[in-house]
């Protein structure tokens, strides 16, 4: 896909993989909208930040109302916003579970449903869900986080089948540990880390594949 003149939305734009990806997409000539709670700092005329808490449907709807006022449709949606919370099951509070589900899974559904009508009308579009290796295999202390990312992969896989006949590509990327702010908050320390820009570049490569190629699910981890 040639990104020049295309419209992209990236959730979780204020740091890490999302921030890097916003930079890469604007460099390619796309009009990029970043959604996050904290300010997303990017000096590019092609970039617009819309303050959005993706756990709040009204904020997501307000953000998409603006994007769709300014552009006929969204060509690319990257559901990237997310955080990690790890711990023994008895230490996880129901509110933690709900916040994790709302951010890592429900937000992807709420954002996706706003872009589908335009993508169907245009008979094209690409949706990339940023899941995790934790969405492919379970690990100790990761019950809630893994549940959100397994869920995101299930959502992605089912939607890919539903929408491929419409010319819309839905795929997911499952990164292993990546050097971002994620681990400052997650309370765990991985031994090896990938570079966030390299992971963002892989997402860009998935998006840039020819329109008739569906990358499906990519798993990538530190060597």
Ligand X SMILES: NC(=O)c1ccc[n+]([C@@H]2O[C@H](COP(=O)([O-])OP(=O)(O)OC[C@H]3O[C@@H](n4cnc5c(N)ncnc54)[C@H](OP(=O)(O)O)[C@@H]3O)[C@@H](O)[C@H]2O)c1
Question: CB of 90: closest distance to ligand X in angstroms?
Answer: 23
Q: According to CB under 6 A, which residues from 175 to 214 bind ligand X?
A: 175, 177-178, 180-182
* Residue 110 or 168 with smaller CB distance to ligand X: 110
* Residue 151 structure tokens: 């869920």
Stretch that binds ligand X, among 53-61, 64-72, 158-166, 211-219 (CB under 6 A): 53-61
H or E segment and range at residue 49:
strand 47-51
Q: What whole-number distance in Å separates Cα of residue 77 and Cα of residue 116?
A: 10
For 8, 173, 202, 205, the CA distances from 44, given in Å and listed in that order, are: 14, 26, 21, 21
* Residue 99 or 120 with smaller CB distance to ligand X: 99
Of 33, 64, 86, 145, the catalytic one is 145
67 binds ligand X (CB under 6 A): no
Question: CB of 4: closest distance to ligand X in angstroms?
Answer: 25
- For CA atoms 147, 153, 156, 161, the dihedral sign is negative
Question: CB of 167: closest distance to ligand X in angstroms?
Answer: 26
Stretch that binds ligand X, among 24-32, 42-50, 77-85, 211-219 (CB under 6 A): 77-85
- For CA atoms 6, 8, 14, 20, the dihedral sign is negative
Q: What whole-number distance in Å separates Cα of residue 184 and Cα of residue 48?
A: 26
Binding site for ligand X (CB under 6 A): 11-18, 35-38, 52-55, 80-84, 103, 130, 132, 175, 177-178, 180-182
């Amino acid at each position: 896909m040639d990104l020049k003149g295309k419209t992209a939305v990236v959730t979780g734009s204020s740091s890490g993989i999302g921030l890097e990806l916003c930079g890469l997409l604007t460099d390619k000539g796309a009009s990029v909208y970043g959604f996050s709670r904290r300010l997303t700092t990017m000096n590019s005329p092609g970039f617009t930040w819309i303050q959005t808490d993706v756990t709040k449907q009204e904020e997501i709807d307000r953000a998409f109302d603006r994007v769709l006022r300014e552009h006929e449709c969204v060509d690319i949606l990257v559901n990237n916003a997310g955080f990690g919370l790890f711990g023994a099951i008895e230490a996880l509070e129901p509110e933690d579970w709900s916040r994790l589900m709302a951010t890592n899974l429900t937000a992807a559904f709420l954002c996706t449903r706003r872009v589908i009508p335009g993508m169907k009308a245009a008979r094209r579009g690409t949706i990339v869900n940023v899941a995790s290796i934790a969405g492919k295999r379970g690990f100790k202390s990761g019950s809630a986080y893994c549940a959100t990312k397994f869920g995101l992969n299930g959502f992605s896989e089912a939607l890919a089948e539903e929408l491929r006949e419409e010319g819309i590509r839905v795929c997911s990327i499952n990164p292993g540990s990546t050097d971002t702010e994620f681990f400052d908050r997650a309370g765990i320390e991985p031994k090896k880390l990938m570079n966030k820009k390299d992971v963002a570049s892989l997402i860009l490569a998935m998006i840039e594949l020819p329109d008739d190629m569906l990358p499906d699910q990519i798993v990538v981890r530190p060597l």
